[in-house]
Structure 1
Amino acid sequence: MDTRIARALYRKKSAVQRAGEGERTPGGTPLVIPFPKCYTLSMPRFTFIHAADLHLGAPFRGLDGAASAAFPSSGPSSSPLSSPSSSPSSRKKGNFLAEASFIALDRLEKACLDQGAAFLILSGDIYDDKDGVLRARFALRDMFLRLKDADVRVFIAHGNHDPLRPGPLPVAWPDNVTVFGPEVSRECVMQDGVPLALVQGISHTAARETENLALRFTRYAPGKEDGNALSGSLPEGLPADIFQIAVLHCAVGGAADGHAPYAPCALSDLTGAGFDYWALGHVHQGGIVCDAPYVVYPGSIQGLHINETGAHGCAVVRVDGRSCAVEQLPLAPVVWEKMVFTVTEGTATPVATIDALEEALLEALQTRAGERNGAEAVFCRVILEGATELDAELRRPGSLETLLERLRKELAAHDGPARVWLKDIRLATSPDRDFAALAGRDDLVGEVVRLASAMRDDPARAEEVADRALSALRGNAKLKKILALGGEAHGIGGMDGAVDTALSAPDLADEAKALLCSLLEGDE
């Protein structure tokens, strides 16, 4: 609807009429559908952008120096998304990997302008720590100023990585920016005199917030005293069915597994609060937790390590009355992927020699470059699996390193829409043997196969054996420090101490079985 018509209708009604229920758009609409033809006349349609977990200036984790050397400049000049003209000052010419989060920030700004967003929501962890690098603060300030020129408001709720800091900010935000404080407050978004939405939010004040902050939120309702005493100025006579948004950095039970349980809450705490949209942050893999009402993690704008695979970006939300449609918009210039390659003969990709394996992997990786989700680089881990006669050769010292080096060299010479960087190769193959027959042998080989098979069938027993075997390593002070800091920084885990669980205890038993059988059978 034309905003001028909506404004006229809004002003024509009396305060009592505006406070009434009015006409409503049917609720419960499914995800990403066309706008319904019927809508509440007093409420215009609008769009907003929801982003979180920017972690500006945070380095990639689990990469060696060879990766930085392979990407010396800040992206291919041919990419139309590398340097949007609307945001010239947020990125300097430099190493592509160091610039990745700032390139994603440029694209976030461009999305706000291209989508005609009325406002931008940032749901926490804008920086990697509470102070934030000064360059990141200036980049944000400059972006906020350009959004102000386009009449785009910004709402910020701080999270566990960037909790509210005492005292004045080192770089002041322009007046189109609202930073939510330690208590829930709300703001009304107006456009040409017409109320579009009410936005409520709260920020973390500590790095390890344990309170269920979701319980502090209450939907605004005209004439209802309970919950209407929150700070924030509201225009007189708001309609009861105005679209209302809650902004929170939190861990929703069941949806934030593997993430630190900061500001923990249950999904029912959110769905029962009466809001139309929960703009969450904390989980780096974006997704819709619930669509009635919408509870959304937009994901981080740039994946930082191999456990943050796939497209990363923001959520574009189109609102009509109290209904909305949500879609993900990719922003990340670097996409992380895990590619499982089965080498078993008789499958779709059979390989009988190492050179044939190299050729097949090169083709698969070049194909992956075309599935880049708008990114300029794909960082890939290859996982080799399957029963193969090549198992023993692949396990020889130096074999995987040689294969990795050769593939990197071939990929660097490939001219495609995106560069593929092969991060590493993980081995999950097994010897091409009849393990059922080996299990029947009355010797050490048979005992090894029977024990490994028993642990595969009994994960609890496998975990017990693995704990005993690895207890000495886990008691190592240096290793404990690596895991506490986030193992992926050292190639073995993820952010917030989330260890890479690619190999479970039963998987380790299978690995041990394959290695021991090769040794005992004389393959070495």
Structure 2
Amino acid sequence: MTAIRFIHSADLHLGSPFTGMRGLGAEQWKTLQDSTLSAFGRLISYALETRPDFVLIAGDIYDEEDRNLRAQHRFQQGMEQLAEAEIPVFLSHGNHDHLSGNGAAFALPDNVYVFKEHVENVELTVNGASIKIAGFSYGKRHIAESMVDSYPQAESGVIQIGMLHGSEESDTEHAVYAPFRKEQLLAKNYDYWALGHIHKRQHLSEEPPIIYPGNLQGRHRKESGAKGFYDVSLDKGQASLQFVAVEAVRFERIAIDCSGVQHMNEVFTACEEQLADYETALVAELELYNLGEAALHMLESVVPTELLETLREALSEGERFIHIAKLSFDSNQSMSEISPFGKQIADRLEGWEDRQWKQALTELYNHPKSGRFLPPLSDELREELRAGAERKIRQLMALEDQT
């Protein structure tokens, strides 16, 4: 087998609106809004510098079927750059950018092949080697049926790659789209399966590789960690994968060791020191742990929103983008003094959704005299109410001293 090299990317979600993000400064907000486009720009720059044989984009180029005009234009420009460098691109549309969606439909250059609604097996030649890439695009928003049977078996002497935007039948965390079983993909005897749809990086199989690269840019706290694509080499039946991180803003949950902390300035110093290693822009949820009794008492006496805002201000000094989305204490530690029933109540409050908070506060917000003076029910206010309720639970339902 002749050695080939390609980029496997998926789930670009260009133009994602980033709804629900609060407390950001104007420059931070712009950086976050532009982050999907910035990550895509880094992919294009990497391809131009390293010159892969081709690029695969396995679905969900855009965030919704009603496509952002700016995102379409930026994508078209990127494809033009790859065309000038004579780098072929093979793309399939997924559930978020299906072929029936609305949009201005910028014309893409000839180096880009867009898969149709039915499974196709497109052939190209690289350094004398015959390569076939099988895939399809979503013609509608939701494809519930399996498409695997439509993929051809691999032929002898041909490097066969499959592109599939879908989910495993056994996956209970995500809505099922174009479902498949790993055994079905293995039975096709392909050299590589380039998957899309799941935003978490996953290797379903190593030999042959069946790979989710994840999305290019995290968009909320559940899409944490490094985000990017794979640089893949296939040589004599062996695959070599290099993950390339390109996110412009990283979402991360970070544990802050507060051993020995007694004063508030020491809390701030611990946060600053443990965030110093992050070079990229950062949206973080901080959990303070190893808190002594004095530190816990100090922190629980402070208004949560005031502590959060002050910490944001302290960490955002200078040109660095560090935004603290949430601040919490180690649940095992801070709950240790609460009775089992009290802990159950506090845990339930932690999982409340917007509708549950609104239902609980309906009478207060609808009061004819006081309702008009109340602030909007923001994320920060909900967190303050939850923390206050937790403190009250601790006071009323603390375990008696058993010694």
Q: TM-score range by the shorter chain?
A: 0.7 to 0.9
Alpha carbons 2:260, 2:292 under 8 Å: kept: no
1:71 aligned partner: 28
Which residue type is aligned with residue 244 of structure 1?
Q
Equivalent residue number for residue 301 of structure 1: 216
Question: Tell me, what secondary structure is at the counterpart of 1:304?
Answer: coil
After TM superposition, where is structure 1 displaced by more than 3 Å over at least 4 residues in a row?
166-169, 385-388, 390-393, 427-435, 450-453, 469-479, 511-515, 519-522
Q: 1:95-125 deviations in whole A, cap 9, x for unaligned? A: 3222211111111111222222111111011
Letter in 2 for 1:248: L
Q: In the TM superposition, what is the alpha-carbon distance from 1:282 to its structure 2 partner?
A: 0.8
Corresponding residue number in structure 1 for 2:323? 421
Which residue number in structure 1 is paired with residue 393 of structure 2? 516
Q: How many residues align?
A: 375
Q: 1:109 to 1:338 in 2, by over 3 A?
A: same
In 2, the alpha carbon distance for the partners of 1:126 and 1:327 equals: 22
How far 1:322 sits from its partner (Å)?
2.8
Q: Are residues 118 and 430 of structure 1, via their aligned partners in 2, closer, same or farther at CA, if it must alter by over 3 Å?
A: closer
* 1:247 aligned partner: 163
The Cα shift of 1:297 comes to 0.6
Task: Assess if the C-alpha contact under 8 Å between 1:148 and 1:176 holds in 2.
Answer: yes
User: 1:363-414 CA deviation, whole Å, 9 max, x = no partner?
Assistant: 222x242xx4xx3x1111111245642434433462x322222222222224
Q: 1:320 matched to which residue of 2?
A: 235
In structure 1, distance between residues paired with 2:360 and 2:85: 51
CA–CA distance in 2 between the matches of 1:450 and 1:314? 45
Equivalences for 1:144-155 in 2 at 5 Å?
Answer: 144-155=79-90
Amino acid at match of 1:379: V
Letter of the structure 2 residue corresponding to residue 395 of structure 1: E
1:117 to 48, 52, 60: 52
Q: Deviations over 1:336-383 (max 9, x none)?
A: 11112244xxxxx22123332222222222x242xx4xx3x1111111
Q: 1:55 and 1:68, CA in 2 relative to 1: closer, same or farther beyond 3 A?
A: farther
Q: Please state if 1:364 is matched with 2:274.
A: yes
Give how far 1:166 is off. Answer: 7.2
- 8 Å contact kept, 1:391–1:431: no
Match of 1:219 in 2: 153
Q: Matched residues in 1 for 2:101 and 2:310: separation? A: 52
Give deviations 1:407-461, integer Å, cap 9, x for gaps: 222222246xx532222212345778985xxxxxxxxxxxx725458x6xxxxxx
Q: Which amino acid aligns with 2:26?
A: A
Q: Provide the residue aligned with 1:408 in structure 2.
A: 312
1:205 aligns with 2:139: yes
- Say whether residues 1:394 and 2:271 are aligned partners: no
User: Which residue number in structure 1 is paired with residue 264 of structure 2?
Assistant: 354
CA deviation profile, 1:177-236 (whole Å, cap 9, x unmatched) = 1111111001112246x2441100011122222111223212243xxxxxxxxxxxxxxx
SS in 1 for 2:24: helix
Separation in structure 2 between the aligned mates of residue 521 and residue 167 of structure 1, nearest angstrom: 57
Deviation of 1:471 (Å)? 10
- After superposition, the Cα gap between the structure-2 partners of 1:385 and 1:518, relative to the gap in structure 1 and judged at 3 Å, is farther
Question: How far did residue 323 of structure 1 move?
Answer: 2.3
Partner of 2:175: 260
Cα distance in 1 for partners of 2:102, 2:263 equals 65
Cα distance between partner residues in 2 of 1:429 and 1:338: 14
Q: Which residue of 2 aligns with 1:46?
A: 4
Q: TM-score, normalised by structure 2?
A: 0.82
1:118-133 maps to which residues of 2 (within 5 A)?
118-133=53-68
* Alpha-carbon separation, structure 1, partners of 2:311 and 2:271: 8
> Are 1:102 and 2:37 counterparts?
yes
Give ranges in structure 1 of 5+ residues lacking alignment. 1-39, 73-94, 222-239, 344-348, 436-447, 456-461, 480-489, 493-507
Counterpart amino acid of residue 31 in structure 2: F
Q: Distance in 2 between matches of 1:330 and 1:336?
A: 13
Provide the rounded CA distance (Å) in 2 between the counterparts of 1:476 and 1:202. 44
CA distance in 2 between counterparts of 1:430 and 1:167 reads 49
- RMSD over aligned Cα, in angstroms? 3.5
The structural deviation recorded for 1:307 is 1.3
Q: Does 1:383 align with 2:273?
A: no
Aligned to 2:364: none
User: Structure 2: which 5+ runs fail to align?
Assistant: 362-377, 381-385
Conserved 8 A contact 1:50-1:122: yes
The match for 1:137 is 72
Larger Rg: 1
Contact 2:59 2:196 (8 Å CA) reproduced = yes
Query: Percent identity over the alignment?
Result: 26
Amino acid corresponding to residue 361 of structure 1 in structure 2: C
TM-score in terms of structure 1 length: 0.64
Displacement of 1:520 in angstroms is 5.4
Structure 1 residues 359 and 519, CA gap change in structure 2 (3 angstroms): farther
